[in-house]
Amino acid sequence: MAKLNFLAALRDAMAEEMRRDADVFVMGEDLRQNLYGSSAGLLDEFGPVRVRDVPLAEAGVIGTAIGAAMVGMRPVVDITISPFLYPACDQIISIAAKSRYIYGGQTSVPIVLRASLFYNAGSAAQHSDRPYQFFLGVPGLKIVVPSDAASAKGLLKTAIRDDDPVLFFEDFNLWSTSVRCDHDDEADRTVPLGRAAVKREGADVTVVAVAASVGLSMKAAEKLGQEGISVEVIDPQTIQPLDEETIFRSVRKTGRIVAVDPAHRTGSFAGEVLARVTETAFASLKAAPRRVCTPDTHIPFAPVMEKGLYPSVESIVDAIRETVA
């Protein structure tokens, strides 16, 4: 079996969908130069009409893409670093998310906004945000946060085919990672939105994690398994729609839950998971739920100060031990 790199998986997903559907095109900063590694060969194969470089004007770029989507195209916009979504919030929230509703279903906005989570990289306060949870309270948006190359490819293909706007968040810490897979099997494999993946089965505690925190949680589960603590690890894959039932079913089995999320603690996706579990499966809980998140502070530039802020194998292990104590 060959290895599939995370960035190559994204490139393959876009290329395959562009071959499948002539209405799919990509646009973003420095795509033609393949600056970030996920657009290699697209310009040569599909030409400048379907591979478009854009200026530093996020509101205008996303507004243009929304207009194209409304008339039948399927744009995939690489917005580069996720905080660059902020200048375009009016377009995303007021237009992309609401248009199907306010026009009574007469239009749809099949647009994908790709945005990297550029944290743990010395990028300082303005470029290090993990803002997927910021958009959770916006009806009409679908939000994808993959945890490895295989799921990223399948989820991106599904997102491109979806008729609703999709925010697709890509964890920078996964860019250099690879997974083993059969490329023939991967060629047209899609991953449904709204279906979680149980990455590891367990009996003592449920861990729900997103993005690179899934891999950290798997390492924590492996370590605790040597101590006789059986950990079930769930990767939601999409946080909107959220596969609640898989989470509830696991909590009813284990009686404990830890949510791991590299976003800030207040208003986090982790907090939303714990709220829903408490509302629906409270009677099954044997211990108080725990969150492992980033403290509510801006991200410093100094790597030595930044590194300890995010979830780690050690902090996940500590939280799990607290729940089973």
| Catalytic residue numbers, as ranges | 127
Return the ∠ at Cα 113 (arms to 36 and 233), rounded to 5°.
85
Return the ∠ at Cα 61 (arms to 58 and 66), rounded to 5°.
120
Looking at the DSSP assignment, which residues form a beta bridge with residue 51?
26
Record the tokens describing residue 224, joined without a space: 């605790």
Is the Cβ–Cβ distance between 217 and 207 less than 8 Å?
yes
Selection from 164, 159, 67, 122 nearest residue 303 by Cα:
122
Q: Where are the alpha helices (DSSP H) in the chain?
A: 6-20, 42-46, 58-70, 89, 99-102, 124-127, 149-161, 183-186, 213-225, 244-254, 269-281, 303-306, 313-324
244 torsion bin: left (phi>0), alpha (psi -120 to 50), beta (else) = alpha
| Residue corresponding to tokens 């995010």 | 310
On the CB side of 214, CA atoms within 13 Å amount to 21
Selection from 30, 32, 33, 37 nearest residue 12 by Cα:
37
Question: What are the DSSP calls for 170-207, one per residue?
Answer: EEGGGTT-EEEE-HHHHTT----TT--EEEE--SSEEE
Cα 94 to Cα 89: distance, rounded to the nearest angstrom? 8
Query: Exposed, middle or buried, 122 (CB in 10 Å: 0-12/13-18/19+)?
Result: middle
Which residues neighbour 48 within 8 Å (Cβ) at sequence distance 6 or greater? 32
